[in-house]
Amino acid sequence: MNPHVQFLDRPLTRRVSVGVPVGNVLVGGAAPVVVQSMTNTDTADIDGTVAQVAALHRAGSEIVRITVDRDESAAAVPKIRERLERLGIDVPLVGDFHYIGHKLLADHPACAEALAKYRINPGNVGFKDKKDKQFAAIVETAIRHDKPVRIGVNWGSLDQELLTRLMDDNQAKGFPMTAQEVTREAIVQSAILSAELAEEIGLARERIILSAKVSQVQDLIAVYVELARRSNHALHLGLTEAGMGTKGIVASSAAMAILLQQGIGDTIRISLTPEPGGDRTREVQVGQELLQTMGFRQFLPVVAACPGCGRTTSTVFQELAQTIEGDLRRNMPVWREKYPGVENLKVAVMGCIVNGPGESKHADIGISLPGTGETPAAPVFIDGAKAATLRGPAIAADFQVMVADYIEKRFGRGETA
Ligand code: SF4
């Protein structure tokens, strides 16, 4: 065997970070990687924001960030918190502040109290002599309310004074670094210097999370590897402006998978631009699937479905795989409570006899549908043994009933094997 080939099925070593409690969720330390998301409603629209936070949380978001950009939205925050609590939703809310966060937090103490964490962008917390003063004001509010802070650097709003200073230093040394390298260095330094300042003001390291978001995959990897090397702060991973649809999903997954595999990252957010009228919960689904597909966390039962090929000309198996997956996802918020361990279930939906029986036997419950020219019969395998053969037009519905029965029998008594 080539000695350079290694098979990796887990992060090399999870980087040891300082755990930060965000409401009832621990980020970093020994906690599993947390999936979070952000609303795109106007926070002053209390009904709309409550509905979207609830939807994101139902989809599995463990922390939800909301924009706090003006007095009306700051005033709405405690009302949103109260409404969520009445609905039995205790998901931590994070306030996203830019430019006037110090003022909003001072003028709206109920907002400062209702939030579980404040996000500060050191690139736009204030300018010139006001910068450190306003940064300190937010940090002091966090200390007073015993809240953690995320120091969230963003490529698009990078501290220009710091960048200019590093560019000048680089020039004075005869340009040993490229402009891209200097910019990456400025991003890392902005996060680390801001964290040092927050600690000098009195905020404990157990109350600080760092992020350094950029929009290019290679930049993100380089910046986070360096951030992880130079600090032990909990890290929030995210590719900013990842884009729409498959582009955003692939770019975010590629960047984050490489970092997560190296043990870097304590919480993730997938920043997808939704299609007009699109479903905001997609970013939560992608985050969960990324962690699950890499074997780091288990959120949902797995549905293994073959891609189909010329041996099957009908779409029955695609429709069945989609229906089963949709059913599982829709029912999970209730099933998680009712059927402990159900997220470990493996279902197979296969298109023909070539790989169908084999793959189905490896699943907890699997069906091998008939391919073109095969006898119109669909064997079902349960725990590796053939349990039934389905025939006729109701194969899909019959299999759905069998899956539901299997879940009830295996997980209904709390068995988690
Ligand atoms: S299981 Fe059958 S239908 Fe599915 S991809 Fe393989 S050969 Fe094609």
Rounded to an integer, the average pLDDT of 67-96 is 98
CA separation for the pair 260, 294 (Å, rounded): 9
b/e 126-142 (16+ beta carbons within 10 angstroms → b): beeeebeebbbbbbbbb
Average pLDDT over the chain, rounded to an integer: 91
Distance 253 CA to ligand 1 centre (A): 27
More confident residue, 15 or 77: 77
Q: What's the pTM value of the predicted model, to 2 decimals?
A: 0.89
Closest residue (by CA) to atom 7 of ligand 1? Answer: 354
Nearest to 380 by CA among 312, 371, 370, 372: 370
CA separation for the pair 135, 99 (Å, rounded): 10
Q: Which amino acid is located at 111 in the chain? A: C
Distance 351 CA to ligand 1 centre (A): 5
Tell me the pLDDT band of 4, cut-offs 50, 70 and 90.
very low
DSSP 155: G
Closest residue (by CA) to atom 2 of ligand 1? Answer: 352
Q: Which of 313, 316, 352 to mutate to test the pocket of ligand 1 (most atoms within 8 A of CB)?
A: 352
Rounded to an integer, the average pLDDT of 57-78 is 97
More confident residue, 376 or 268: 268
Segment 300-359, tens digit of pLDDT: 899 999 888 888 877 777 888 888 888 888 888 888 889 999 999 999 999 888 889 999
Q: Which of 55-69, 257-271, 278-292, 321-335 has the lowest mean pLDDT?
A: 321-335
Q: Which residues contact 261 (CB under 8 A, 6 or more apart)?
A: 8, 11, 12, 294
Distance 355 CA to ligand 1 centre (A): 6
More confident residue, 156 or 171: 171
Is-contact 37 64, C-beta < 8 A? yes
Q: Which amino acid is located at 51 in the chain? A: A
Q: Half-sphere exposure of residue 208, counting CA atoms within 13 Å on the CB side?
A: 24
Ligand 1 pocket: which residues have CB below 6 Å? 306-309, 311-312, 350-352, 354-356, 371
DSSP 270: -
Distance 32 CA to ligand 1 centre (A): 36
Ligand 1 atom with the smallest distance to the CA of 353 is 2
Q: Is the pLDDT of residue 94 over 60?
A: yes
Q: Which amino acid is located at 326 in the chain? A: G
What count of residues does the chain have?
417
Burial, 378: exposed, middle or buried (Cβ in 10 Å; 0-12, 13-18, 19+)?
buried
pLDDT of residue 13: 76
Q: Going by DSSP bridges, is the β-strand pair 272-273/267-268 parallel, antiparallel, or unpaired?
A: unpaired
Segment 123-167, tens digit of pLDDT: 898 888 898 999 999 999 999 999 999 999 998 889 899 999 999
pLDDT of residue 66: 98
Closest residue (by CA) to atom 5 of ligand 1? Answer: 308
